[in-house]
Amino acid sequence: METMPLTPPFGPELVVTADERRVLEEFLDFYRRVIVTKLHEVPDADAKRRHVPSETTLAGVLRHMSVVERNWFQHHLAGQPTPAADADGGWSVEHTTMAELLEDYTRECARSRATAAGYTLDDTGTHDQLGVVSLRWIYVHMIDETARHAGHIDILRELTDGSTGSW
């Protein structure tokens, strides 16, 4: 299994003169690493604790991000069917551990990278409501989605144990 480093390097600002694709990939990978780093070694009970009125938990956000990776890269871009287990958007975590969730997320990120490598930025997939979407658009959307949920994880982690910072 491919692993992500636990301490994000400076991140995407190190590729300010790279081509468009590398910049997009580096930004997305940076936020993926932030998520993994923020959730590494969080105990299962803490990860499943609710701090907000909704069902949002650290474990739920992580599972949701695995589903989002699968949906955008495997389903919408590569045309594979959506697994039935993903129907809830990925928020159900009762019968899983953080170690399993982190492994699944890391695996899905690696699958997303491998899938995207077979496409150009102008290649397209389809989305039920949006219609045709390019890989370029998927990258920008995934940067937004991953960064937004990394922010949720920051807040939930601070409420859980006082931990702050990107990593």
Residue 7 lies in a domain: no
Residue 5 lies in a domain: no
57 CB-contact burial (10 Å; exposed 0-12 / middle 13-18 / buried 19+):
buried
Residue-level pLDDT, tens digit, the chain, 167 residues:
456 555 555 566 666 677 899 999 999 999 999 999 999 989 999 999 999 998 899 999 999 999 999 999 999 999 998 877 766 666 678 788 999 999 999 999 999 999 999 999 999 999 989 989 999 999 999 999 999 999 999 999 999 999 887 66
CATH number at residue 105: 1.20.120.450
Residue 100 lies in a domain: yes
Number of domains present in the structure of the chain: 1
Q: Virtual CA dihedral for 147, 99, 25, 15, nearest 10 degrees? A: 80
**Domain that includes residue 87, residue range:** 12-161
- 10 Å Cβ neighbour count for 77? 23
SS3 127: strand
